[in-house]
Structure 1
Amino acid sequence: MVKTTRKGIRKTTVNRKSRNIIKNMTLYEMFQRFMIDKRAEGLSRTTIEGYEITYGYLEDFLLGDLANEEITTDVFTDYIGYMLHEKNLSPVTANVRIRTMRAFLRYCYERDWIYEPIHESFKPVKTGEIKIDAFTPDEVNLLLHQIDDTRYVGFRDKVMILIMLDTMVRVSELLKIRRANVDLKNGSIQLEPHETKMKRARIVPLSTKSVKLLAEYLEETQDFEEDTLFVTYDGRPISDNTFRKQLIQYKDLAGIKNKRVSPHTFRHTGALFYILNGGDPFSLQDILGHTDMSMVRRYIKMSNVHIKRQHNSFSPLLSLNK
Structure 2
Amino acid sequence: MQKKTMRKLKRNQATTQMSNVLHSLTLHEMFEKFMVYKRTEALANRTINDYYKHFDYFKEYLRNDLTSEEITSDLLRGFIGYMLHEKKLSPVTANVRIRTMRAFMRYCYNEGYLSNPVHEIFKPVKTPQDTLESLTPAEIKKLLSVIDDELYTGFRDNVIIFILLDTMVRISELVAIKRRNVDLKAGFIKLEAEETKTRRTRSVPLSSKTMKLLNEYIIETEDFGEEELFLTYDGHSINPSTVRHKLREYGERAGINNKRVSPHTFRHTGALLYILNGGDPFSLQKILGHTDMSMVRKYIQMTDVDVRRQHNSFSPINSIF
**Which residue number in structure 2 is paired with residue 207 of structure 1?**
207
Question: Which of 303-312 and 154-163 deviates more?
Answer: 303-312
SS of 1:228's partner is coil
Aligned-pair CA distance for 1:186: 0.6
Distance 1:212 1:82, change over 3 A: closer
Q: Does 1:170 align with 2:176?
A: no
Instruction: State whether residues 275 and 299 of structure 1, in contact with CA within 8 Å, keep that contact through their aligned partners in structure 2.
Output: no
Instruction: State whether residues 272 and 303 of structure 1, in contact with CA within 8 Å, keep that contact through their aligned partners in structure 2.
Output: no
Any stretches of 5+ residues in structure 1 without a counterpart? 1-14, 316-322
Matched positions, count = 303
Aligned-pair CA distance for 1:190: 0.6
- Residue type of the partner of 1:165? L
**Which residue number in structure 1 is paired with residue 34 of structure 2?**
34
What TM-score do the two structures reach when normalised by structure 2?
0.86
**Which residue number in structure 1 is paired with residue 9 of structure 2?**
none
CA deviation vs aligned residue, 1:199-239 (integer Å, no higher than 9, x gap) = 11101011111222222111111111101011111111111
CA deviation vs aligned residue, 1:216-266 (integer Å, no higher than 9, x gap) = 111111111101011111111111122222212212221211111111111
Aligned-pair CA distance for 1:47: 2.2
**Which residue number in structure 2 is paired with residue 72 of structure 1?**
72
1:309 and 1:278 map into 2 onto residues whose CA distance is 12
- After superposition, residues 172-321 of structure 1 pair within 5 angstroms as 172-302=172-302, 305-308=305-308
1:303 and 1:208 map into 2 onto residues whose CA distance is 29
Question: Which of 252-261 and 45-54 deviates more?
Answer: 45-54
| CA-atom RMSD in angstroms | 2.6
Any stretches of 5+ residues in structure 2 without a counterpart? 1-13, 316-321
CA deviation vs aligned residue, 1:128-152 (integer Å, no higher than 9, x gap) = 2132111111111111111121221
What TM-score do the two structures reach when normalised by structure 1?
0.86
SS of 2:38's partner is helix
Aligned-pair CA distance for 1:85: 4.4
Instruction: State whether residues 105 and 119 of structure 1, in contact with CA within 8 Å, keep that contact through their aligned partners in structure 2.
Output: yes
1:221 and 1:138 map into 2 onto residues whose CA distance is 30
- Residue type of the partner of 1:181? N
Larger-gyration structure (1/2)? 2
SS of 1:189's partner is strand
- After superposition, residues 51-70 of structure 1 pair within 5 angstroms as 51-70=51-70
- Residue type of the partner of 1:150? E
**Which residue number in structure 2 is paired with residue 141 of structure 1?**
141
Q: Does 1:125 align with 2:146?
A: no
Question: Which of 43-52 and 264-273 deviates more?
Answer: 43-52
SS of 1:302's partner is coil
Instruction: State whether residues 182 and 190 of structure 1, in contact with CA within 8 Å, keep that contact through their aligned partners in structure 2.
Output: yes
Aligned-pair CA distance for 1:94: 2.6
SS of 2:221's partner is helix
Q: Relative CO higher for 1 or 2, CA cutoff 8 Å, sep ≥ 6?
A: 1
Distance 1:237 1:304, change over 3 A: same
Instruction: State whether residues 248 and 261 of structure 2, in contact with CA within 8 Å, keep that contact through their aligned partners in structure 1.
Output: yes
SS of 2:302's partner is helix
Distance 1:120 1:164, change over 3 A: same
Aligned-pair CA distance for 1:62: 2.3
1:37 and 1:284 map into 2 onto residues whose CA distance is 34
2:171 and 2:80 map into 1 onto residues whose CA distance is 30
